[in-house]
Amino acid sequence: MVHDPRPHRLPPDPLSAAGAAAPAVTLRPLRPEDAERIRRWMADIEMLRNTVLVPGPCFAPVRAYTEAEADRYLTQLMTDVDRFSFAIELDGAHVGNVGLKAIDRANAMAECFIEIGEKEARGRGVGHRAMELLLEHAFSTVGLRLVFLGVFEFNQAALRLYRGLGFDDGPQYGWHYVDGEYFEVVGMLLTRDAHLSRTGRCRRPVH
């Protein structure tokens, strides 16, 4: 059984000592006051094309979330008991969201997701740092053994991000239809052992 660490409490960051040049990224719980930003990000077609957050019927063209859909998404992030969701802050400003979803407590595994909503915050190492913090939470606090995800084959930034964090290619998720074309959804996975080995730390197993 996976330890449930609610309310969200992140452990002290063991990687920060090594990250002198890393951007000042922190994670915090999402709040209702974050709604305005999330409405704006969920109206960004370019971002939606890179994610599987596409609202509406699968074969409909990618379109912006309505305000009501974006608000429902935020509510889901904040209240779904099978998720741990965090706001990503860069120097104190909310620039994106990251988290675990579909948490399978019996098998100690979960899917992860990330979206840097603010365009100016992309490509500056924020996604990498936020994922490091999330993975530390997933493996060392929640006690997961496996984190997995699906990413579109054309999403080079995301593929590089996950590979740089030690994710391996896993079973293919399938195909996803975006604006008239099918794309492969690449399955990727990272085990706790691989994470601890990559970060140079060996910890006593949680279970």
User: In this complex, which beta carbon is closest to ligand COA, that of residue 2 or of residue 48?
Assistant: 48
User: In this complex, which beta carbon is closest to ligand COA, that of residue 2 or of residue 188?
Assistant: 188
CB 134, min distance to ligand COA, A: 11
β-bridge mates for residue 57, sequence order: none
In eight-state DSSP terms, residue 194 is H
Residue nearest to ligand COA (CB): 127
Cα–Cα distance, 202 to 204 (Å, whole number)? 7
User: In this complex, which beta carbon is closest to ligand COA, that of residue 38 or of residue 151?
Assistant: 151
User: In this complex, which beta carbon is closest to ligand COA, that of residue 184 or of residue 206?
Assistant: 184
CB 131, min distance to ligand COA, A: 8
Contact between residue 129 and residue 116 where contact means Cβ atoms under 8 Å apart: no
Q: Per residue, what are the HEC states of 56-107?
A: CCCCCCCCCCCHHHHHHHHHHHHHCCCCEEEEEEECCEEEEEEEEEEEECCC
CB 205, min distance to ligand COA, A: 29
CA nearest to 1, candidates 104, 110, 147, 105: 105
User: In this complex, which beta carbon is closest to ligand COA, that of residue 5 or of residue 170?
Assistant: 170
CB 152, min distance to ligand COA, A: 7
Q: How many CB atoms lie within 10 A of CB 149?
A: 23
Cα–Cα distance, 147 to 138 (Å, whole number)? 8
The residues of the shown chain that bind ligand COA, judged by CB under 6 A, are: 47, 50-51, 96, 114-116, 122-128, 151, 155-158, 160-161, 164
CB 146, min distance to ligand COA, A: 17
